């Protein structure tokens, strides 16, 4: 709330900001109604001409992109202002806006600076020691379109002017954000990005950037804001190639799903590792052991060996009847054909054509020798055209194809992996038993195997590709012409940069000629992210992986294939590793792909968990690893967490009491308990959301420790901590922003016991 008290005297500073914000919204409303009108217009039927349809597509893409961005930022458009030491100021907001210059020259002057623009950077980094040319930084708090508070920090310590809104400690806005009741959906942090976070968000590093930090250090927030920043900074490339954000499970992706739209960005694909194989929904669940076996790097070799077994040899011969002759394909002949085919080092399905050729040649030679040999001198009486005719006739014999199908079958990834999981080979008996499949459902760990299989098999689509390529080059030439027209007529002012080749969302920026040509197909109006979701071989412009410590080596192989440029941001915390399948160190993850060419950064301040709770959580880890250092909590609340014993029969009742006690007036509470207790607890805690993907926006949510990963709540009640492993317990204890209780019947783990 406003920190200035002026009695009945209107606060001039507030009034001035309100006037400015009103002007911004007038501008936005005008832009919006123009954009709405033109989307409508652009959607009007346009006849059947290719050119008309293409122009309509450009218009719809361009205008609806602008509209979506304007809608997304409504209500929190502008949140800051910087006053420069040499006069002048800039307002900072979620998007940049320009308006007509008052001098009527037709110039368009920036009135709101996008938070990602270089001009806005001092807003996040300037300090009294390093003012970066600033005199003052102002945080503007709004409720809807109304300005409700201002917080000013003087950065020029010699300046005597006061506004009446001074924030002496400089952290009032941050602390208010941290103490706000949670909604069950992660919010953006664009108003209060801290300097160490800003450096990561804007890191110019183009390769792999690893961001490590303990619970609540803002790793997820930073990763998402980095995505938004990169989309701004490299809009042309990234809008075309899309950004992929990988999170541990669909519930987590739902939790973070609103952050980027609130920053005006929608061209991003969010997916969990189980969603990365188009056409497959991984609804099954593996045991941790099975996921670990399936995730091992050796599985790549195992699958290759499994596939090699499918390139069979006759046992002992295959007899083919042809033209009253019987041709015998024996193991020796087929081995030669197989070795020659393998030498080409092509994926299995692509290599099949070679194998067919070798087998046909073998049979042709056999037959030619049999029917064409001169009985007197042993020479062959057949000429080339006879040989060709024999070959053609053999190629028309279905028995030949039955043999080829047996010896070198065409396979889909699904077939190969399903057969392997039904009867696993090339593994120890113990590992085979662990992964043998009992249901038909695919699991997230299977997805990496399917992807590996798809690589090994390849797709024999050369004929289709050649035809598509011919057609496409004609369209590209045509689309290039249309784009040139679009570039010449770029107009609108969704921009705060002065140079003209920056961030305007023009058709020329978001779509290049090739993509435009593809889009020309009447029913393909998909965005890059949508196209990427449907294409296993899509190469993303950038990949962000959250909870990166959980991914298995096989999952890394899949992700690295999706990002040939290795432009990636990986965030994680090895101390929170839950999955057996997870890789132990960044080195182990990255060495096979980028050797040591990756950067490591660390976040050390915990913005979520108050110091009192963090002390307890750290004690649990220290009991196992004495030197363990948790991140430093940015605030203390004075509220101590409590630990209570309950009788075995009273556990559910004690949980219900704990919930009543910890229930925040506003906000969310989570009960984190072993899954086998969920039914009993749900009976006592009315209205709690539960299940595989519980609705996190409900007041009370019942989770197991794995589901709690990455989430946060105002209050948390941890039940039966003795049943959790150390890292799961560490995760569970660090989810609360305000209050924590623990209820147990059994022994307490070391660190929690008094
Ligand atoms: N600069 C900031 N301003 C306001 N809130 C912040 C800031 N940085 C982080 N937060 C908040 O702190 C909380 C924790 O952030 P986040 O979930 O990104 O942490 P994390 O490192 O991913 O945690 P974990 O590893 O425990 O999942 C979130 O509510 C986030 O909005």
Residue owning tokens 């890789």: 583
Its pTM stands at 0.85
Which tokens sit at 695? 């609705």
Neighbours of 336 (CB within 10 A): 12
Does 51 score more than 90 pLDDT? no
More confident residue, 50 or 635: 635
What is the CA(409)–ligand 1 centre distance, in A? 51
pLDDT tens for residues 505-515? 333 333 455 55
Among the residue ranges 53-67, 600-614, 632-646, 731-745, the one predicted with the least confidence is: 53-67
If you take atom 15 of ligand 1, which residue's CA is the nearest one?
218
pLDDT the model gives residue 496: 35
| Best residue for ligand 1 mutational test, from 125, 182, 189 (most atoms within 8 Å of Cβ) | 189
If you take atom 18 of ligand 1, which residue's CA is the nearest one?
218
pLDDT the model gives residue 364: 96
Integer Cα distance of 546 and 247 in angstroms: 5
- Indicate the pLDDT class of residue 492, thresholds 50, 70 and 90: very low
299-310 and 413-422 helices, crossing angle to 10°: 100
What is the CA(219)–ligand 1 centre distance, in A? 6
Percent of the chain at pLDDT > 90 equals 65
Quick one: which of 715, 713, 723, 716 has its CA closest to 744? Answer: 723
Residues having CB closer than 6 A to ligand 1 are: 174, 177-178, 189, 192-194, 197, 213, 215-221, 573, 576, 607-608, 710, 712, 734
If you take atom 9 of ligand 1, which residue's CA is the nearest one?
218
Neighbours of 132 (CB within 10 A): 16
Does 54 score more than 70 pLDDT? no
* Burial letters 670-695, b for 16+ CB under 10 A, else e: bbbbbeebbeebbeebeebbbeeebe
What is the CA(231)–ligand 1 centre distance, in A? 21
If you take atom 27 of ligand 1, which residue's CA is the nearest one?
710
If you take atom 26 of ligand 1, which residue's CA is the nearest one?
215
What is the CA(58)–ligand 1 centre distance, in A? 38
- Consecutive H or E run containing 138: strand 134-143
Integer Cα distance of 560 and 299 in angstroms: 16
| Best residue for ligand 1 mutational test, from 178, 221, 550, 710 (most atoms within 8 Å of Cβ) | 221
What is the CA(122)–ligand 1 centre distance, in A? 22
If you take atom 23 of ligand 1, which residue's CA is the nearest one?
216
Which is the closest atom of ligand 1 to the Cα of 572? 25
Does 110 score more than 70 pLDDT? yes
- Residues 141/165, Cβ–Cβ less than 8 Å: no
Integer Cα distance of 534 and 630 in angstroms: 41
* Interval 738-753 mean pLDDT: 93
Which tokens sit at 480? 């290039």
Which is the closest atom of ligand 1 to the Cα of 222? 18
pLDDT tens for residues 228-275? 999 999 988 888 888 999 999 888 999 999 999 888 887 799 999 999
Which is the closest atom of ligand 1 to the Cα of 546? 22
pLDDT the model gives residue 529: 83
What is the CA(585)–ligand 1 centre distance, in A? 23
If you take atom 1 of ligand 1, which residue's CA is the nearest one?
193
What is the CA(475)–ligand 1 centre distance, in A? 47
Integer Cα distance of 146 and 93 in angstroms: 15
pLDDT the model gives residue 602: 94
Which is the closest atom of ligand 1 to the Cα of 191? 3
- Residues 571/545, Cβ–Cβ less than 8 Å: yes
* Burial letters 502-541, b for 16+ CB under 10 A, else e: bbbbbbbbbbbbebbbbbbeeeeeebbbebbbeebebebb
- Indicate the pLDDT class of residue 474, thresholds 50, 70 and 90: low
pLDDT the model gives residue 508: 38
Integer Cα distance of 510 and 250 in angstroms: 28
What is the CA(185)–ligand 1 centre distance, in A? 12
**Range with top average pLDDT, 62-71, 258-267, 437-446, 520-529:** 437-446
Which is the closest atom of ligand 1 to the Cα of 735? 26
What is the CA(5)–ligand 1 centre distance, in A? 32
What is the CA(171)–ligand 1 centre distance, in A? 16
* Binding site members for ATP: 213-220
pLDDT tens for residues 6-39? 445 668 999 999 999 999 999 888 888 887 777 6
* Interval 621-634 mean pLDDT: 93
- Indicate the pLDDT class of residue 405, thresholds 50, 70 and 90: very high
* Interval 692-702 mean pLDDT: 94
Integer Cα distance of 147 and 17 in angstroms: 7
Which is the closest atom of ligand 1 to the Cα of 734? 26
pLDDT the model gives residue 471: 58
If you take atom 24 of ligand 1, which residue's CA is the nearest one?
215
What is the CA(258)–ligand 1 centre distance, in A? 15
pLDDT the model gives residue 56: 65
- Indicate the pLDDT class of residue 372, thresholds 50, 70 and 90: confident
Which is the closest atom of ligand 1 to the Cα of 177? 4
Which is the closest atom of ligand 1 to the Cα of 213? 21
What is the CA(166)–ligand 1 centre distance, in A? 26
* Binding site members: 213-220
If you take atom 4 of ligand 1, which residue's CA is the nearest one?
189
* Interval 646-659 mean pLDDT: 94
| Best residue for ligand 1 mutational test, from 123, 190, 192, 216 (most atoms within 8 Å of Cβ) | 216
Which is the closest atom of ligand 1 to the Cα of 607? 12
245 DSSP β-pair partners: 270, 544
Does 574 score more than 90 pLDDT? no
What is the CA(151)–ligand 1 centre distance, in A? 22
pLDDT tens for residues 134-156? 999 999 999 999 999 999 999 98
Q: Please give the order of strands across the beta sheet that includes 97-100.
A: 97-100, 108-114, 89-93, 78-84, 134-143, 146-154
Does 160 score more than 60 pLDDT? yes
If you take atom 30 of ligand 1, which residue's CA is the nearest one?
218
Per the prediction, the chain carries an average pLDDT of 86
Percent of the chain at pLDDT > 70 equals 85
Integer Cα distance of 659 and 732 in angstroms: 16
pLDDT the model gives residue 57: 63
Which is the closest atom of ligand 1 to the Cα of 571? 22
Quick one: which of 546, 574, 575, 545 has its CA closest to 559? Answer: 545
pLDDT the model gives residue 6: 47
If you take atom 29 of ligand 1, which residue's CA is the nearest one?
608
Does 690 score more than 70 pLDDT? yes
pLDDT the model gives residue 622: 94
More confident residue, 308 or 495: 308
Which is the closest atom of ligand 1 to the Cα of 711? 27
| Best residue for ligand 1 mutational test, from 193, 220, 621, 711 (most atoms within 8 Å of Cβ) | 220
If you take atom 8 of ligand 1, which residue's CA is the nearest one?
218
pLDDT the model gives residue 461: 53
| Best residue for ligand 1 mutational test, from 607, 635, 736 (most atoms within 8 Å of Cβ) | 607
What is the CA(696)–ligand 1 centre distance, in A? 17
Integer Cα distance of 81 and 91 in angstroms: 4
What is the CA(716)–ligand 1 centre distance, in A? 16
pLDDT tens for residues 98-109? 877 666 676 778
Which is the closest atom of ligand 1 to the Cα of 224? 18
What is the CA(625)–ligand 1 centre distance, in A? 25
* Burial letters 57-94, b for 16+ CB under 10 A, else e: bbbbbbbbbbbbbbebbeebbbbbbbbbeeeeebbbbb
């Amino acid at each position: 709330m406003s920190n200035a008290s002026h009695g009945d005297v209107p606060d001039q500073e507030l009034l001035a900001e309100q006037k400015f914000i009103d002007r911004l919204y007038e501008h936005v409303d005008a832009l919006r109604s123009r954009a709405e009108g033109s989307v409508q217009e652009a959607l009007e039927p346009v006849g059947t001409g290719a050119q008309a349809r293409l122009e309509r597509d450009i218009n719809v893409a361009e205008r609806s992109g602008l509209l979506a961005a304007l809608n997304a930022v409504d209500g929190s458009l502008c949140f800051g202002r910087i006053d420069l030491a040499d006069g002048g100021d800039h307002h900072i907001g979620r998007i940049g806006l320009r308006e007509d210059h008052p001098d009527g020259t037709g110039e368009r002057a920036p009135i709101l600076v996008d938070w990602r623009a270089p001009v806005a950077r001092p807003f996040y980094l300037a300090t009294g020691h390093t003012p970066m040319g600033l005199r003052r930084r102002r945080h503007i708090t709004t409720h809807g379109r109304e300005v409700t508070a201002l917080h000013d920090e003087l950065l020029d310590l010699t300046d005597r002017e006061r506004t009446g809104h001074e924030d002496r400690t400089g952290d009032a806005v941050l602390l208010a954000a941290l103490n706000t009741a949670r909604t069950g959906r992660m919010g953006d942090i664009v108003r209060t990005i801290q300097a160490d976070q800003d450096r990561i968000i804007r890191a110019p590093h183009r390769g792999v950037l690893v961001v490590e930090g303990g619970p609540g250090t803002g790793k997820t927030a930073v990763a998402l804001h980095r995505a938004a920043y990169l989309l701004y900074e490299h809009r042309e490339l990234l809008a075309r190639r899309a950004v992929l954000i990988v999170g541990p499970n669909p519930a987590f992706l739902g939790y973070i799903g609103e952050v980027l739209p609130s920053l005006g960005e929608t061209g991003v694909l969010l997916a969990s590792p189980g969603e990365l194989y188009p056409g497959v929904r991984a609804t099954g669940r593996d045991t941790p052991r099975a996921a670990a076996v399936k995730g091992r790097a050796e599985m790549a070799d195992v699958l290759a060996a499994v596939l090699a077994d499918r390139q069979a040899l006759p046992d002992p011969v295959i007899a083919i009847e042809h033209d009253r002759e019987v041709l015998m394909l024996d193991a020796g002949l087929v081995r030669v054909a197989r070795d020659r085919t393998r030498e080409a080092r092509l994926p299995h399905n692509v290599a099949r054509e070679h194998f067919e050729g070798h087998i046909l040649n073998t049979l042709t030679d056999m037959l030619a020798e049999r029917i064409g040999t001169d009985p007197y001198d042993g020479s062959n009486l057949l000429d080339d055209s006879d040989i060709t005719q024999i070959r053609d006739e053999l190629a028309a014999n279905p028995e030949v194809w039955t043999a080829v199908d047996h010896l070198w079958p065409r396979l889909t990834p699904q077939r190969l992996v399903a057969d392997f999981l039904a009867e696993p080979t090339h593994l120890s008996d113990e590992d085979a038993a662990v992964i043998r499949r009992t249901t038909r459902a695919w699991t997230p760990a299977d997805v990496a195997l399917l992807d590996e299989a798809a690589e090994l098999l390849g797709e024999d689509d050369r004929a289709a590709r050649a035809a598509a390529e011919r057609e496409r080059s004609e369209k590209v030439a045509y689309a290039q012409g249309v784009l040139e027209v679009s570039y010449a007529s770029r107009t609108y002012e969704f921009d705060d940069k002065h140079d003209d080749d920056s961030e305007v969302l023009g058709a020329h920026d978001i779509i290049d000629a090739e993509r435009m040509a593809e889009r020309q197909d009447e029913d393909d109006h998909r965005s890059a992210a949508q196209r990427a979701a449907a294409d296993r071989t899509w190469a993303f412009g950038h990949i962000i992986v959250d909870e990166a410590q959980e991914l298995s080596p096989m999952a890394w192989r899949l992700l690295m294939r999706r990002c040939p440029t290795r432009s990636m941001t990986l965030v994680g915390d090895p101390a929170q590793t839950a999955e057996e399948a997870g890789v132990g160190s960044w080195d182990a993850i990255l060495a096979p792909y980028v050797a040591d060419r990756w950067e490591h950064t660390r976040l050390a301040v915990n913005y979520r968990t108050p110091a009192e709770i963090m002390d307890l959580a750290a004690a649990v880890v220290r009991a196992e690893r004495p030197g363990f250092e948790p991140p430093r909590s940015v605030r203390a609340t004075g509220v101590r967490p409590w630990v209570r014993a309950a009788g075995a029969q009273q556990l559910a009742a004690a949980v219900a009491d704990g919930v009543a006690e910890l229930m925040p007036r506003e906000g969310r509470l989570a009960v984190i308990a072993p899954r086998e207790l969920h039914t009993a607890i749900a009976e006592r805690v009315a209205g709690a959301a539960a299940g595989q993907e519980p609705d996190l926006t409900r007041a009370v949510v019942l989770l197991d420790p794995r589901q709690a990963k990455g989430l946060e709540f105002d209050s948390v009640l941890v039940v039966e901590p003795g049943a959790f492993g150390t890292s799961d317990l560490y995760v569970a204890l660090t989810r609360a922003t305000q209050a924590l209780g623990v209820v147990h019947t059994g022994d307490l783990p070391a660190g929690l016991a008094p």
